[in-house]
Chains A and B, each alone.
Chain A
Amino acid sequence: MPNTGDMPVPESPAKTRLTFSEVQVGAGIPRAGKAAGNPYLPEIATIVEIIQETPNIKSFRVRFDDDLLQAAFAFKPGQVGQLGVLGMGEATFAINSSPSERSYVQFSVMQAGEVTIGLHCLNEGDKVGVRAPMGRGFPVEEWKGRNLVYIMGGIGAAALRATILYTLEHREDYGSITILYGARTPVDLTYQYDIAEWESRRDIDAVITVDAPFPGWEGRVGMVPMVLEELAPKPENTIAVCCGPPIMIKFTLQALQRLEFPNEQVYTTLEKRMKCGIGICGRCNVGSKYVCVDGPVFSLAELKELPDEL
């Protein structure tokens, strides 16, 4: 699989087993240096900057220790990576820096379990292990010429940030762009630095909302799905991309249905417990699809085809 971030397309199974030499020549697993040909070995990277986004979310900007790898690192918006602390384990996080950012790769981590606590304990200069990019990103090429509505809740913004940055960098390729972002309180809004820029831009609509009135908050108040219905984007030639906590996704999808968005025009990105990240270890399946290689991005139409086991 060349490092284009394309979804691997299963062909009919080969009749004989591949050998090491064939794999080197043919499949070209996207790993560099030490881990060439071995998708299990993490690349060692150094944390160059930590941003405290909210009380429990930190963004880590990391740089691969291998300069060649850092220079060659390419990914598609929406792809994910395994970020880990040696000794604590690995977990899957969305890559949320812009694909055009060459000097670092950014992940945002909410402190929740063992690995994330381990990550939150790290300082700038500490080492992490990274296996990336993985999975299938958003079809931003296909979306050219269409209007985009990003609908995000809380930490869900991490999964869409790279895509938003990408489409803003290629602003002329897309129609209108709307960003609807909500969190429980103003304190829980991540990427304040982006929000300030989005709100100041005149070529996009940025709507920031919080769930309930909050001292000092003068912006919009209301749950994301309700605000979405108030905004009432037209489904014609429009792609809706949503990510957030399950309850928010559930009501957002219902709202989109009321707004008459066809399933093919609604995208989301899934989360599952993952280990190998390369479609082998077997735990992130939904039916015959593996979220790690067939996803994490799915259109609602694709999701409707899968067994109801999300």
Chain B
Amino acid sequence: MRFLPEGELAGLLAALSQEAEVWAPARRPNGVVEFQKWEPGTAVELAVLLARQAPKEMVFPQTETYLGYRYLMACPAVRPETPEEAKLELEGEGGEVVAVSPSVSHQLLVVEDVGGSSPTRADVAGVELPGTGARVIFGLRPCDARGFAQMDNVFGGYGGFYFDPYYNARREVTTLVAVACANPRSTCFCRAVGGSPSGTEAVDLLLTEVDGGFGAEAVSERGQRILDYAGFREARAEEEQAVAAAHARAEEAVEAPFELEGVRENLRANFEDARWHDLALRCISCGTCTYVCPSCYCFNINDEMVEGRGERFRCWDNCFNPGYTLETSGHNPRDAKAARFRNRFSHKFWYYPEKYDSLLCSGCGRCIMHCPTRIDIREVIRTMGAPAAELPARAEEE
């Protein structure tokens, strides 16, 4: 095990930021701790266990424009007079013209590749995308890192599914330096979902805070390379013991509020159970739980056009929104709030596991902390994930 004396932390971050953009949890003037771009002088905030939001937007931005286009009306009286002229003009601006067609509508459609994160064929062949240079996310927790592992399954093209070029362009150049949790919160339940406060899934380098500095264990080759920084030294025996003790202490502090075994089968059996309505009653469909979640990944795709210039973008969506599944005909397969509510938990503990043989929850507890109506995922799984026979009787049935 290597050891990073406390005084070397800023030096390490400075060294990392020479080669990559470093993001770390830091306190904003309003007191909220969020992942921010680290610059010399930024104080890393590790005392607050979890940043308000999981760092998933580092690889999966809230809004991402991937296609730009513009329509022009070629008009002899006004510039551009002809489609050819318009094409020249656009190319002069640096836009790559994909299609130009004067049609019977006299409208000219020009499709441009927008810069930023739009991979083109060249990018897929391995050329670095602008704006997606190497990144290090420092100070995320093992549960946050596990969220990445869970999203990787979805976006990574496993088992013949599609490979998402946008997500992977960023994920491929992202290094995760996690810090093990010293003081888990009452809302933490990583152990119930197979995680640990010192878990290493998707982590490149795991640091553990002890007196005087951080014990450091590389999990991947990338993590190993970080250990080359001169500030690391070999850990002393008592430091290694302190790290092990810290891990054990944290492990003990996390409760396991439900049994995972049988949850999937029971969710299936309880699909039509009326208790879903009871649990969903106080939900206000705000979607906060999905936005703060390290593994919720569902998104929407939309077009927006202003004065002939348009963009196609994707942005985070949430399955509590009634419009999420509303069809043009007016039919909505999940028009009841309880059905939408059921979908989120079933997705995490039944649908996703059936597809990817893993869970879509890492037990960070952010949804519990941030829910304005105090809906508790542990309670939901305890209730709906239990065998039907063991479910408590409903109030109105008593």
Contact = CB atoms under 8 A, between A and B. Distances in A.
A269 to B, nearest CB: 14
A18 B156 contact: yes
Interface in A1-51: 1, 8-14, 17-21, 23-24, 27, 29, 34, 36-42, 44, 46
A112 B329 contact: yes
A91 B124 CA distance: 26
A9 B163 CA distance: 14
Interface in B290-349: 297-303, 305, 310, 312, 314, 317, 319, 324-329, 331, 333-334, 339, 343, 346-347
B355 A288 contact: yes
Most buried by B among A42, A44, A282: A282
A36 B125 CA distance: 10
A29 B160 CA distance: 9
Contact of B121 (A36, A116, A307): A36
Contact of A283 (B107, B271, B317): B317
Given A10-B355, A307-B268, A282 B161 contact: no
Contact of B297 (A39, A279, A282): A282
A168 interface: no
Nearest to A11: B159
Given A21-B126, A46-B101, A87-B305, A116 B328 contact: yes
20 contacts: A1-B162, A13-B159, A18-B168, A34-B98, A36-B124, A38-B165, A40-B301, A41-B66, A41-B67, A44-B98, A87-B71, A123-B103, A272-B325, A275-B314, A279-B161, A281-B298, A285-B343, A286-B333, A308-B271, A309-B334
A55 interface: no
Contacts of B346: 287, 307
A113 B153 contact: no
A233 interface: no
A126 B161 contact: no
A273 B109 CA distance: 27
A13 B327 contact: no
Contacts of A283: 298, 300, 317, 319, 324-325
B164 interface: yes
A275 B299 contact: yes
Given A17-B156, A124-B103, 4 more contacts: A18-B158, A271-B327, A281-B299, A307-B346
B69 A86 contact: yes
B53 to A, nearest CB: 19
A102 B119 CA distance: 30
A49 B125 CA distance: 37
B155 to A, nearest CB: 7
Contact of A18 (B67, B157, B169): B157
Contact of A37 (B119, B305, B328): B119
Contacts of A127: 99, 101, 103, 109
Which label, helix, strand, loop or mixed, suits the secondary structure of the B interface? mixed
Contact of B333 (A24, A41, A112, A272): A272
Residue with the highest number of chain B CB atoms closer than 10 Å, among A14, A41, A271, A287? A41
Contact of A20 (B154, B168, B299, B305): B168
Interface in A89-141: 89-91, 112-113, 116, 122-127
A288 B153 CA distance: 14
A10 B158 contact: yes
Contacts of B162: 1, 29, 39, 278-280, 293
B319 to A, nearest CB: 7
A288 B350 contact: yes
Interface string B126-163: 10000000000000000000000000111111111111
Interface string B158-181: 111111111011011000000000
Given A38-B124, A86-B69, A8 B104 contact: no
A49 to B, nearest CB: 13
A219 interface: no
A10 B159 contact: yes
Contacts of A27: 157, 160, 163
A20 B165 CA distance: 8
> Top 7 A-B pairs ranked by shortest CB distance?
A282-B298, A10-B159, A125-B103, A8-B160, A113-B328, A37-B124, A288-B351
Nearest to B127: A20
Contacts of A34: 98, 120-121
B272 interface: yes
Interface string B267-290: 010011000000000000000000
A37 to B, nearest CB: 4
Given A8-B160, A310-B333, A13 B111 contact: no
Nearest to B220: A16
A276 interface: yes
Given A280-B155, A281-B301, A40 B166 contact: yes
Contacts of A38: 119-120, 124, 165
Contact of A123 (B105, B305, B310, B328): B105
A89 B334 contact: no
Given A112-B328, A276-B301, A125 B101 contact: yes
Between B159, B160, B162, the greatest number of chain A beta carbons within 10 A of the residue's beta carbon is seen for B162
B358 interface: yes
Contacts of B301: 40, 89-90, 275-276, 281
A9 to B, nearest CB: 6
Given A123-B103, A280-B155, A9 B272 contact: no
Nearest to B333: A309
Contact of B107 (A9, A11, A17, A126): A126
Given A279-B161, A281-B301, A87 B120 contact: no
Contacts of A23: 124, 157, 163
A232 interface: no
Contacts of B319: 282-283
A90 B152 CA distance: 26
A245 B153 CA distance: 35
